[in-house]
Structure 1
């Protein structure tokens, strides 16, 4: 865990312990610098694509970008919270797939048992999907907080197990039988010309901003990731809050899986996967979340998710080989981490 953290709005009773960490101001300045760097990249890609391919500004393409960015934003917000607390959640992609098939199965079974009661079927499916994500989050959090196992190792294991369970449920075959109202009136519906997923992502983002800035949970997450010893001295219940970050990450990943299921109209074990996991981590890191913990803002992570989505869309429009596209993501992610580390070393020498 990081020895430096920014805990905005921390209460006065905890200020002495939290303020004792060196380099907080330097880390904050580095984070502000990253905020300016990301929009510049975003503008560069947008302007470049405007000149390279007029299809980029087509309404269908713009809606596709915003919808995909919404899915990634929801998952990346949960991932960012875990990383800020000093952990990792490699299971988010598998949770997206598990929630998708669990939601579809629960809806199909309930619809068959209670014909014509679409509301009950939808409620049962959504509850089951979110519950599956919360269950994975609880397992991750308890193993990390109580058994003191590395979050990287724990979530790597649950990623494999969760993906396996999703495949067992479906045998690799998409799950159908959901109420058409769920797909038609929610998954594929538009309000004021925008898909439902975008509004859900905005609500999630607003809620996460509130959690980070206005709740003790959000402040304690910063404290835990920045300096666990100082947090303990300040009376923070570390175990409970660490478990909370993993549960929230699992629930948000499950929510993304439910939205994808509603859009496609079937539950699929192929949703999420390694790509969603890598992109969520990349969105967090490029958005200024420190891999050492204690630093990061979800609103900047959302901008990073939009940037990554636009970049992927641009590469597709430019007909870049799909096998080369992960190279761009990897290079950008490594550059973001390198810039963060160089900034830390430079400030440390001052």
Structure 2
């Protein structure tokens, strides 16, 4: 019991629900454990993992980014428009078109994050309200730019570089995902920025009194959040080979669920990137298994909502237990 207690305090309910999900899905649907399904599951999970890493940064500073799904859509459209526009102007230079598209997409993400960060850190708008407003704005801009229609005409090389190629049998999206995880782990655990992000969520006032420019680091955190989300959006755009204003509609709920299931606290300052990775794997396993079982999409949304609420309740219990242990050992 002591071991289970320690595992729960360190990781939340993730280890328990992850093992339970694998066992249940493997028994309920034999195809779940097939090589082809596991390969597709691993490839599909990469996009959610990257988006969840961005969402994690917002949660660590005691915020939230409700605009991640809309940011994916906006980045998809701006990336596709920049690529197709450049390709039409210079049809013999697909590389130039790809560079222009990726730059436009990443810049779009940075601008969204900058606006969110300024609104939250400088104007003192609630993170929820600020990012919900940005969600509406980004969706409207994406629909306006695309005219509500998919943007076609991207060169084959774009899909090859960001989606279809493989290295030693590993699809390139998996390699990009590994790179994001390693960079995120290094940043959060070995840099001053990482320590500042955790301290902002742990105790904002104490961090400010220690002489840290909390406004700067808060804005920077939201910029990084949206830039990471933008990179995931570029990979998704390459996968579908079109720029779509409806891309990423489910990623908001899924990324929050992955983070909270993975032990990232809504109260800020608590969370590990390795657990967010496993949390995203759990959400992907859950949705993949329900698809194999032919469970309707609206029922899947109910299940994800139940898991999110349960994870928040358990997170509150876990935070109280951690505080009690600190008092007892302090």
Fold agreement, TM-score > 0.5: yes
SS of the aligned residue for 1:160 comes to: helix
Are residues 1:86 and 2:39 paired? no
Alignment of 1:221-232 (within 5 A): 221-232=197-208
* 1:30–1:343 CA contact under 8 A, matched in 2: no
Change (3 A) 1:347 1:121: closer
Are residues 1:76 and 2:55 paired? no
* 1:118–1:181 CA contact under 8 A, matched in 2: yes
Aligned to 2:260: 285
* 1:85–1:242 CA contact under 8 A, matched in 2: yes
SS of the aligned residue for 1:324 comes to: helix
Aligned to 2:124: 148
Counterpart among 257, 261, 283 of residue 233 in structure 2: 257
Shift, 1:36, TM fit: 6.6
Shift, 1:185, TM fit: 4.2
Question: TM-score, normalized by length of structure 1?
Answer: 0.88
Aligned length: 321
Aligned to 1:233: 209
Change (3 A) 1:238 1:347: closer
Are residues 1:56 and 2:32 paired? yes
Question: TM-score, normalized by length of structure 2?
Answer: 0.93
Aligned to 1:338: 313
Are residues 1:243 and 2:243 paired? no
Change (3 A) 1:348 1:205: closer
Are residues 1:37 and 2:22 paired? no
Aligned to 2:281: 306
Distance 2:319 2:188 in 1: 23
Change (3 A) 1:179 1:108: same
Are residues 1:160 and 2:136 paired? yes
* 2:12–2:261 CA contact under 8 A, matched in 1: no
Shift, 1:114, TM fit: 0.8
Change (3 A) 1:31 1:280: farther
Shift, 1:63, TM fit: 2.5
Deviations along 1:136-185, one digit per CA (max 9) or x if unpaired, are: 00000011111011111010001000011101111121111111111134
* 1:78–1:245 CA contact under 8 A, matched in 2: no
Query: What do you get for the CA RMSD once the two structures are aligned?
Result: 1.6
Moved more, 107-116 or 34-43: 34-43
